[in-house]
Amino acid sequence: MNELTNTLRRLAVIAMPLAVFVATTAPRIHLK
């Protein structure tokens, strides 16, 4: 159970910043 909690916490540490990155930044691909 403790291991599952740790795995979920590690996933959240990766997933939350990714979600924040996608929704709050807006770089656009540079078309030459």
Partner 1 sequence: MATATMTSACGGVAVVAADQATKWAAPSLDRTAIGAAIEPGLNRDYSLGLVGGSQTLLILGALVALGLGGWWAAQSVRSGRVPAWVGALVLGGAMSNLLDRIIRGGVLDFIVTPWIVLNLADLAVVAGLAAFSVAHLRLERR
C-alpha dihedral, 16 to 17 to 18 to 24, nearest 10° = 110
At 4, is the secondary structure helix, strand, or coil? helix
Minimum gap (Å) between residue 16 Cβ and partner 1: 6
Residue type, 3: E
Residue choice 1, 4, 5, 14 for contact with partner 1 (CB under 8 A): 14
6 contributes a contact to partner 1 by CB under 8 A:
yes
- What token pair was written down for 7? 């795995």
Using CB under 8 A as the binding rule, whether residue 26 contacts partner 1 is answered as yes
Residues that bind partner 1 (CB under 8 A): 6, 9-10, 13-14, 16-17, 19-30
